[in-house]
Amino acid sequence: MGTIIIRAVGLFLIIVLAYFLKRIGFLHKADGSSLSIIIMNVTLPAVVIINLANLAIESNLLLFVLIGFFWSILQIFISYFVTKRKSNTDQQFFIYCATGFNIGNFTLPFVQGFLPSGVPLISMFDTGNSIMLSGGTKVLSDRLTGQNTGVTFKSVLR
């Protein structure tokens, strides 16, 4: 239990340090853009590649891809029905806000620190989630709200 608390406090202190550096003027808004590019293009792919490098893909792991995919679809339908009486624009806004998971920036650092063996499972879940985030949510949202933007499942898969 002590190890978990130490790791959680360590992650919290990183956030506090970043906030402090911004408050004293050491970090600026432009630095955030540079750091985002590094995180998205170097750090996150490296974490996924390292943790999936020695993973033998078995059928039970593919279940996590399906869970991620269908859970995102479930969230879309829940958002749609909750906002049924709102305008199409509001419905689409709620659908976009209620779907998807921030696996890479939020979940992976915690799981990697506390339970490294869970990273491949979360990465497989994120594969299903990313199908929807890469355009599947847009297509389904357009269909549900009656919008016709020309985006199709076929174009998303391409």
Give the pLDDT score at 55: 66
For 56-88, give one letter per residue: b (16+ CB within 10 A) or e: eeeeebeebbeebbebbbebbeebbeebeeeee
Boundaries of every domain in the chain: 2-157
List per-block mean pLDDT (blocks of 10 residues) for the chain, which spans 158 residues: 77 86 84 80 77 71 88 90 88 84 75 77 84 81 78 68
Give the pLDDT score at 71: 92
